[in-house]
Amino acid sequence: MNINKEGSYSTHEYRNLFREIGYTEEEIQARLEQAWNDLFYGAPDVRIYYPADNDKAYMLDTGNSDVRSEGMSYGMMMAVQMDKKDEFDRLWLFSKVFMQHTEGRYKDYFAWHCKPDGSRLSQGPAPDGEEFFAMALFFASSRWGDGPEPYNYSEQAKTILRACVHKGEQGEGDPMWDPANKLIKFVPESPFSDPSYHLPHFYELFAREADEQDRTFWKEAAEASRVYLHQACHPVTGLSPEYANFDGTPAAPQPHGDFQHFFSDAYRVAANIALDYEWFCSDPWQMEQSNRIQQFFRDIEPADYRRYTIDGHPFEEPALHPVGLLATLAMASLAADGPDAEPFARLFWNTPLRRGVRRYYDNCLYFFSLLALSGNYRIYQ
C-alpha cells in the first residue's frame, strides 16, 4: 500500500485505502452512502439521528437514551464531510438552543448531555464536544459560507475556542486547555486529561482559523499533544488509558470509575493519530505507533476484544464496543506500514454497522473510519 510522505494539508490529496486494496470507486461510494442513510434515516435498530421540531435534530446515545455534546458534534462533522447542510443545521440548532450555556461559569460551553427533549441532565461540559463543534463549524463555513446567526459558522467556532482558551482570565470558570502545558483537560476543572481528546490535526487548523491572538497557542497545543501521545501510549502494546495525567501516566481512579485501562474512550486514540498522520504527516512515531497497536490485536478476534491494562493484560470484561474498536484499528492503517494494515482494512470492510442498543458509539467510530479509509475525511478551508 502507498503511504503518503507529505500530508493532505499540503498535497490536497487523500488516500483511498479501500481502492488501493482492490475495491472499486463505485463500491466504495455506495458503501459510504448506504452507511449515511442507515445511520440518519435507516431502520429503528440502526439509526442514531432523529429530527426534532421543524428545524432541529439530535444524535441519540442509544445505550444511555440521552443526547451528548460528543454525539452532536460528531453528527455535525459527519454531515459537513458528506455535504449535508440540512442535517448539519438541524444538529447545530439543537446544540445551540438546548446545550450551549449563555451565562455563568460555563458560558459558551455546552452541557455534555441532555434528554431528547433538550432538558439538561448535567450542566458541565466535556471538551471533546467543543473541539469537534468548532472544527465542524469552520468546515461548514468553508463549504457553504456563513449565514445569519446562529449559522454564522466561523464566528460561532471562534466564540467556542475563545472560551476554551480564555475562560477564567477575567471572571469565573476554567479553560479547557491547561494554560501552562497547552494540554486539553478531561473537564475544565480537572488536573488530568483524556488521551482520546487530543486532536493535534484540529489544533493545526485552529492555528489558522481562530482569533489572531490565539493562533500561537493552538500551534503550541498541536505540538504539545503530539508529545503527550508519545507518553500516553505504551511503547510495546500501543495501548493507552482512558484518562491520563499530564505526564501521560494513567490517572488515579475517579469517583465515577476506574479509567486507568484501555477501554472505550481510548479506542479513539488510534483513529486520531492516523488522521493527524494523513492530514499533516509531521511525526514519524505515528507510523510506528499504528503498527504497534495493530500488531497487539493481530490475533484477537473482535468477538474476543476485552478491557486491557495498557501493558496488554486482558480482563474478563468484554469490550462494550467491539465494532468501534475494530473501526479505529482499521483507521490506523492510514498511518501503519506493517503487515497488518491491509488485513484490518479488509476486516473492517467486511463488518457491518452495529445494530441494537449499544450501536451509537460503535457506529460513530465506524462512520469516521469509513470516511477516512475512503479518502473522504477532508480538510475544508
Count of domains observed in the chain: 2
Shared domain check, 181 and 233:
yes
Among candidate residues 38, 61, 66, 70, the one labeled active-site is 70
Instruction: Tell me the sheet residues that pair with 51.
Output: 57
pLDDT, residue 337, reads 96
- Same structural domain, 182 and 331: yes
**Res 5: pLDDT:** 67
List the beta bridge partners of residue 60: 67
Q: At a CB cut-off of 8 Å and minimum separation 6, what does 328 contact?
A: 267, 268, 269, 270, 271, 365, 369
Same domain, 239 and 171: no
CA-to-CA distance for 352 and 184, rounded, in angstroms? 33
pLDDT of residue 7: 96
Three cell numbers written together for 331 = 483507521
- Give residue 254's pLDDT: 85
C-alpha cell at 329: 484499528
Q: Any residues with CB less than 8 A from the CB of 339 and at least 6 apart, and which? A: none
Say whether 238 sits in a helix, a strand or coil. coil
List the grid coordinates of 246: 499530564
Q: Is the distance from CB of 195 to CB of 228 less than 8 angstroms?
A: yes
Helices (H), the chain: 8-11, 17-20, 25-41, 69-81, 85-94, 127-144, 153-166, 200-209, 215-232, 267-280, 285-297, 322-331, 341-349, 359-373
Residues 34 and 160 in one domain: no
Tell me how far apart the alpha carbons of residues 238 and 310 are, in angstroms, rounded to a whole number.
Answer: 8
∠24-30-33 over CA atoms, to 5°?
Answer: 140
Which residues, at least 6 apart from 213, have a Cβ–Cβ distance to it below 8 Å? none
Residue 3 confidence (pLDDT): 54
Please tell me the distance from the alpha carbon of residue 341 to that of residue 294, in angstroms, as a whole number: 7
Q: What is the pLDDT of residue 253?
A: 83
Residue 109 CA from chain centroid, whole number: 18
Quick one: 297 and 331 in the same domain? yes
- Examine the residue annotation and report whether 89 is marked as an active-site residue of this protein: no
Asked if 79 and 59 sit in the same domain, the reply is yes
* pLDDT of amino acid 4: 53
Same domain, 23 and 83: no
Same structural domain, 151 and 286: no
The Cα–Cα gap between 61 and 83 comes to: 23
Which cell numbers in the block locate residue 134?
Answer: 468548532
- Compute the distance between CA of residue 297 and CA of residue 304 in angstroms, rounded to an integer: 10
Domain boundary among 150, 176, 202: 176
Contact (Cβ atoms closer than 8 angstroms) between residue 329 and residue 294: yes
Q: Which CATH number does the domain housing residue 65 bear?
A: 1.50.10.10
Give the pLDDT of the chain (381 residues) as one tens digit per residue.
555 568 999 999 999 999 999 999 999 999 999 999 999 999 999 999 999 999 999 999 999 999 999 999 999 999 999 999 999 999 999 999 999 999 999 999 999 999 999 999 999 999 999 999 999 999 999 999 999 999 999 999 999 999 999 999 988 999 999 999 999 999 999 999 999 999 999 999 999 999 999 999 999 999 999 999 999 999 999 999 999 999 999 998 887 888 999 999 999 999 999 999 999 999 999 999 999 999 999 999 999 999 999 999 999 999 999 999 999 999 999 999 999 999 999 999 999 999 999 999 999 999 999 999 999 999 999
User: Which residue range forms the structural domain that includes residue 159?
Assistant: 50-176
- 107 and 202 inside one domain: no
265 is catalytic: yes
Distance, CA of 232 to CA of 236 (rounded, Å): 12
Cell of 207: 492555528
Last residue of a domain, one of 151, 176, 201: 176
Question: Closest by alpha carbon to 96, among 59, 69, 75, 115?
Answer: 69
Tally of residues, the chain:
381
- Same-domain status, 363 and 220: yes
Based on the fold, state whether residues 198 and 340 are members of the same structural domain.
yes
> Rounded to an integer, what distance in angstroms lies between the CA atom of residue 215 and that of residue 211?
7
- Which residues are CB-contacts of 60 (< 8 A; sequence separation ≥ 6)? 48, 49, 50, 66, 67, 71, 116, 360
pTM over 0.95: yes
Both 257 and 355 in a single domain? yes
Which of 146, 176, 206 corresponds to the end of one domain? 176
108, 128, 204, 265: the catalytic one is 265
The cell for 292 is 504497534
- Rounded CA-CA distance 357/63 in Å is 5
Among 124, 123, 110, smallest CA distance to 58 is for 110
What is the reported pLDDT for 1? 54
